[in-house]
Structure 1
Amino acid sequence: MKENDELLYRINVLEYHQKLLLKLLSDPNLDFYRLVIEYGLSEQEVRDFFQLCDNLTEKMEEQKAEGFVYFHPLFSEFSRFLPARMDVNEVMQSCLRQKLFEPLFTEINKCL
């Protein structure tokens, strides 16, 4: 049963990557999606990533409203929860180029 689960998981990842490849054909500037494929991320891992970015964006907005101007703790949290096999700087730059979570990554990119 365990072997079947692994095969099913791999098939699902391949199907997800195929969908992303079709998007890349129509817009080759989708850098984050390219990284998803290169790093072999599953659809669930990408959903988790987007949820992390949503949460960090909310925290950043709350902190800005309170007068914060330094967001290194958000950068640290992002780095901790990013899949270990991914490069933090590469992910942030690809998201900025694809205009994903642009305000968040513009701010935490300053921490590099």
Structure 2
Amino acid sequence: MINLDDLMKRIEKLEYHQRLMAEMMPENGYPFHRLIIRNGLSEREVEEFFYTCDRLSMKLEKQKAEGFVYNTPLFKEFEDELHAKLKVHEIVESCIVQNIYPALMKQLQKSL
């Protein structure tokens, strides 16, 4: 049976190796994934981010259809709902590179 100290050491080692692997990824390859790993976000926290992006993407499309082109409220909402460990400019740029919610991210980029 493994004791708690050994288990904690193994977890710390895995976390360290995970950070090293994230640094091995090419800079231009997967910047969004790198941010998630570097900031230690959980799968649930990433799912919440995607939920927010889904909702804001639909809101953006509705606003475009209504001729609404003022981006600040949408950007503020995104910024307010973004995980505290993430920086808005980093996440927007990384999503653009990885083609994650491209229409939404390009719109948000205009407010950076």
* TM-score between both structures, scaled by the size of structure 2: 0.76
Matches within 5 A, 1:93-104: 93-104=93-104
- CA deviation vs aligned residue, 1:54-108 (integer Å, no higher than 9, x gap): 0000000000000011211110000001111211100100000000000001011
What does 1:5-20 correspond to in 2, within 5 Å?
none
Q: Which has the larger radius of gyration?
A: 2
Deviations 1:12-41 (A, max 9, x none): xx79xx6xx69x86xx71210111000000
Match of 2:90 in 1: 90
Runs of 4+ in 1 over 6 A off after TM superposition: none
Percent identity, aligned pairs only? Answer: 47
Q: Match for 1:56: what amino acid?
A: L
Is 2:71 the counterpart of 1:71?
yes
Letter in 1 for 2:103: P
Equivalent position of 2:31 in the other structure? 31
Q: Which residue of 2 aligns with 1:61?
A: 61
Q: CA deviation at 1:52?
A: 0.2
Letter in 1 for 2:40: G
Amino acid of the structure 1 residue aligned with 2:52: L
Corresponding letter in the other structure for 1:95: C
Unaligned 5+ residue runs, structure 1? none
Aligned residues: 98
Q: How does 1:37-48 map to 2 (within 5 A)?
A: 37-48=37-48
- Structure 2 counterpart of 1:52, which letter? T
1:105 corresponds to 2:105: yes
Helix, strand or coil: the match of 1:56? helix
Instruction: Tell me which protein shows more helix as a share of its residues.
Output: 1
Question: In angstroms, what is the RMSD of aligned CA positions?
Answer: 2.7
